[in-house]
Amino acid sequence: MSILSIYDQLRNVLKTKARENDISKEKIIIRCRALSAYEAIGDPEHKDYPIIKGKEVMVEASFMGAKGQAFTDQFENARYSVEDLLNLGLGSNRQRASFIAGFNAVFRHLGLCEKTIHCKDKEPVDCANHLLEIFKPKSKVLLIGHQPRFLEKLASKYDVRVIDMDPDNIGKSFFNTEIEAVEKTLEAIKWCDQMLVTGSTLVNNTISNFLDLNKPVVFYGVTISAPAKILGVNTYCHCGH
Residue 97 lies in a domain: yes
Whole-number pLDDT of residue 6: 94
Half-sphere exposure of 90 (CA within 13 A, CB side): 21
Last residue of a domain, one of 109, 143, 173: 109
Query: 43 with 99, same domain?
Result: yes
Band of residue 239 on the pLDDT scale cut at 50, 70, 90: confident
pLDDT above 70 covers a percentage of the chain that reads 87
Q: Is the pLDDT of residue 47 over 60?
A: no
Burial track 7-39 (b if 16+ CB lie within 10 A, e otherwise) = beebbebbeebbeeeebbeeeebbbbbbbebee
Q: Domain tally for the chain?
A: 2
pLDDT, average across residues 10-16: 95
CATH number at residue 188: 3.40.50.11590
Query: 130 with 232, same domain?
Result: yes
Whole-number pLDDT of residue 122: 85
Query: 201 with 177, same domain?
Result: yes
Whole-number pLDDT of residue 35: 60
Whole-number pLDDT of residue 36: 63
Residue 137 lies in a domain: yes
Query: 136 with 197, same domain?
Result: yes
pLDDT, average across residues 41-63: 62
Query: 130 with 225, same domain?
Result: yes
Can you give the pTM of this predicted structure?
0.89
Residue at 115: amino acid letter: K
pLDDT, average across residues 196-203: 96
Query: 98 with 143, same domain?
Result: no
pLDDT tens digit sequence for 104-129: 999 999 999 999 998 888 888 899 89
Q: Is the pLDDT of residue 156 over 70?
A: yes
Strands 30-35 and 78-80: antiparallel
Segments forming the whole domain that contains residue 58 = 3-109
Last residue of a domain, one of 77, 109, 141: 109
Residue 83 lies in a domain: yes
Query: 35 with 73, same domain?
Result: yes
Whole-number pLDDT of residue 52: 41
pLDDT, average across residues 139-161: 94
Query: 220 with 128, same domain?
Result: yes
Query: 87 with 130, same domain?
Result: no
Residue 103 lies in a domain: yes
Q: Is the pLDDT of residue 196 over 50?
A: yes
Residue 156 lies in a domain: yes
User: What is the spatial distance between Cα 119 and Cα 2, in angstroms, rounded to a whole number?
Assistant: 30
Q: Is the pLDDT of residue 88 over 90?
A: yes
Q: Is the pLDDT of residue 64 over 60?
A: yes
Query: 206 with 183, same domain?
Result: yes
Query: 136 with 206, same domain?
Result: yes
- 85 closest CA partner among 97, 102, 69: 102
